[in-house]
Amino acid sequence: MKLFQALKTAAIAAGMGIAMLGVATAAPISGAISISGPIVNPTDTTGVDFAGSGFVNGGSGDFAGIAAGTLVNLFDISFAALPGTVWNVSGFSFTINSLTSAVTTNAQGGISFNAFGTLAGAGFDDTDGNFVFNGSSIGGVANFSSVTSVVPLPASILLLGGALVGMGAAARRRKNAAA
């Protein structure tokens, strides 16, 4: 009977712990957003100078509610001064932390690069994301997208499960030793 009571108490404590885990953290950002904007220097390999605001081409996941055509604040990128915020729109922003590919000249006469960074949004956890940039010398337009990475389950859930199994085994041993 004591074993049953101990397991019941442990199960209630585990349930409360898991519930608190959900309350204590916000959800990561999921999905992708595509943005276009005018650039001044489409062939400069030291950074990107935007010529004004950009606009949303489309989005998925948490970005799906941002309508195509919504204006986006764009911030110049200096590859020598990373990290730096690149864009913000509708409460979301993206900061480049590091380049993950070399800056290259592409077939459209502009530059291309990939970067790793952080997506932030009100009510969300900061989330790792990838940034793909393709500039064009035709009209000086940049098309780029930001995509979130997959976030694994917290290891604390596995630790909690292991602790519950261990407590059950210890209680069983005590019961067998007492009998």
Q: In this predicted model, what pLDDT tens digit does every residue of 15-26 receive, in sequence order?
A: 555 555 544 457
Map tokens 């195509």 to a residue: 68
Query: Beta 124-125 vs 27-28: how paired, if at all?
Result: parallel
Residue 59 to residue 105: CA distance in whole angstroms: 27
Is residue 39 within 8 A of residue 148, CB to CB? The reply is no
Question: What is the pTM (predicted TM-score) of this model?
Answer: 0.68
Residue 164 to residue 75: CA distance in whole angstroms: 50
Query: Beta 84-89 vs 77-78: how paired, if at all?
Result: unpaired
Q: In this predicted model, what pLDDT tens digit does every residue of 66-116 receive, in sequence order?
A: 999 999 999 999 999 999 999 999 999 999 999 999 999 888 888 889 999
